[in-house]
A and B are shown apart, each in its own frame.
Chain A
Amino acid sequence: MIQLSFVEHQYPEGSHIVFPDWEIQRGAKWLILGKSGSGKTTLLHILSGLLCPVSGKVEIEDTSLYQLKARNLDRFRGSKIGLVFQQPHFISSLTIRENLAIAQKFAGFPESRPRINEVLESLSIAGKAASFPQQLSQGQLQRASIARAVINRPALLIADEPTSSLDDDNAATALKLLFTQSEENGATLVVATHDQRIRPAFTNLYQL
């Protein structure tokens, strides 16, 4: 279960945002909907342990995120949270397989080639394992980005504007992949977007 209670954030320029309390059941699929600048990305970063709120509590599977020491928080993020960004970005000096391998290593898991192959196959990009990111198409990169997010079987899969820059067909495919992968890996899915096209796919809505 994921819980947000009394979470407030202050931006460096002085503005302030209070997030409504939130409780997410394990395996649920939620959509955070809001206009640009409404605080969607900020909320996702707070949820993923990247941005410490000025007050409030974030709990993921009974672990209070911001009470963890920095190193443990990093490791927790690596092992329990998978992140998919609007623009898929990879370490350009490493192959796709190596990008996935370091995601395992940084999370504190041993490098598992069978697991990497399994995830890449499930996303139909196994043939690109030895390729460098710059050799992949945008669609393949988006799939690889999902692969990296689920490689450690996270409890929470977070996607920030995963469909905003895609056409209808590709947006539908990306969303389908996120649904499938979160289900296959037993992860809770939280998607933040201002893209109204994907709203009908979700029953749980968190409006900002």
Chain B
Amino acid sequence: MNIVAISWKNLKLKPLNTALNILLVAFGTGILVLLLLASSQIGEKMEHNSKDIDLVVGAKGSPLQLVLSSIYYIDFPTGNILLKDAQRVMRDPAVKKAVPLALGDNYNGIRIVGTDSNFIDLYDLKLQSGRFWHSDFEATIGAAVALDQNLKIGDNFFGAHGLTGSADVHKSHAYKVTGILEAQGSVADDLILTSVRSVWKMHDHVGHDHDHHDHEQTDNGEKELTSLLIRYRSPLSAALFPRMINETTNMQAASPAQESTRLFSLIGIGIDTLQWFALMIMVIAGISVFVSLYNALKERAYDLAIMRSIGASRPVIFAIVISEGLAMTFIGSVLGIFLAHLSLQLISCYQEGSQTRFNGLIFINSELLVLAAGLLTGMVSSVIPALRAYQADISRILAGK
């Protein structure tokens, strides 16, 4: 029987008290880890998906909305731009690569993206099977789409109008799956890619309801795109090119880097608040552990004196009390980390946009810091009770004074 076993048996003697302390620590740790995991995964996904995109050009409106809809596929586009305006931008000498995007349809909530082969180069897409789209209404689907929707090469499906929902299905044309992408770890995993022409043709029929902004053709028949993803020829272009777009055209240019930073500063306030909340819970947990151990000392003074009388040294008594505090916070922290991962995995099951889907199975180094912080809380909370136990006058206790 070692010190840890003795401590554990002592803790089990007061199961409700111990459970409350463990739960408090688990709650604080869990919220902290959940926030860390979520911010880390959002940050990584944002960086990964926008790393080769210098600028997004689209209809005037919120630049953040433009970036979110065109790179992360998590918001509605700001509107459409005329093809001829887009082509002028694509031909600009400052532009090294321009990827057209035509959004507007979905299949079971998965966005159908009309684009061209530059999209393949931009995300360095590779095929798992089949081939890339070529003719009209051919589609290449992301690995996650194939898995989630159980789509195979040669399968046909109908797109629906809008970016979510399947009320307005385009029954006139069916898409045919010609290829399935390898898992990329990017937004492409959760997209259905087709040609821009397919998207145009899908909407090019009589009687279509044009109430929304997300169509690809004006009422007078001019072709439209949703946005352009731009790579500069030279970093110097960043200084002048966006201003030129914003001031001389009826389009807007939005920098993914700037908008991501702005988004993080916006959600950062909420994250900071939650982090302070979690830290406060950790402090309360620490105080609770301290109070439990301190009160238990009064009841256990004779126990500890008996241990000294049968040969336990002062350091052993100190270690027993410390390890009780550490055991509660260690179990609480591990439980908190487990619950955070479980929660993230559960959240991911209910996320609509698979592009931003969290993964509860990913671990990050910062979790070790949270675990260490939990153990430190246990150490700090139990050090005063442990010192009192260390210094106790056993002769007086045994004499009943």
Name A residues whose Cβ lies closer than 8 Å to a Cβ of B: 41-42, 45, 48, 50-51, 70-71, 74-75, 77-79, 83, 85, 89-94, 98, 101-103, 105-108, 111, 148
Contacts and interface: CB of A to CB of B under 8 A. Distances in A.
Given A42-B399, A93-B9, A102-B312, 10 more contacts: A42-B395, A50-B308, A50-B394, A51-B395, A70-B313, A71-B315, A74-B311, A91-B307, A102-B310, A148-B310
Contacts of A102: 1, 6, 307, 310, 312
B316 interface: yes
Contacts of A79: 311
A106 B310 contact: yes
A48 B309 contact: yes
Contacts of B306: 89-91
B10 interface: yes
B12 interface: yes
Contacts of B10: 91, 93
B311 A108 contact: yes
Nearest to A108: B311
B7 to A, nearest CB: 9
A111 B312 contact: no
Interface string B363-401: 000000000000000000000000000000011001100
Residue from B311, B313, B314, B315 having most chain A Cβ neighbours under 10 A: B311
Contacts of A51: 395
B302 interface: yes
Interface string B309-346: 11111111000000000000000000000000000000
Interface in B1-27: 1-2, 6, 9-10, 12-13
B352 interface: no
Contacts of B2: 105
Contact of B303 (A75, A92, A111): A92
A77 B314 CA distance: 13
Which one of B2, B6, B316, B398 has the highest number of Cβ atoms from chain A below 10 Å of its Cβ?
A: B398
A29 to B, nearest CB: 21
Contacts of A89: 302-303, 306
10 contacts: A48-B309, A74-B311, A74-B313, A75-B311, A83-B309, A93-B9, A98-B1, A102-B312, A103-B310, A107-B311
Contacts of A103: 310-311
Contact of A106 (B12, B307, B398): B307
Nearest to B304: A91
A122 to B, nearest CB: 19
Contacts of A85: 398
A149 B348 CA distance: 61
A90 B304 CA distance: 10
Given A93-B9, A94-B9, A111 B1 contact: yes
B311 A78 contact: yes
A71 to B, nearest CB: 5
A20 to B, nearest CB: 20
Contacts of B311: 74-75, 77-79, 103, 106-108
A78 to B, nearest CB: 2
B308 A74 contact: yes
A92 B301 CA distance: 12
B397 to A, nearest CB: 10
B309 A77 contact: yes
A32 B364 CA distance: 67
B395 A45 contact: yes
A75 B313 contact: yes
Contacts of A148: 310
Nearest to B315: A71
B234 to A, nearest CB: 73
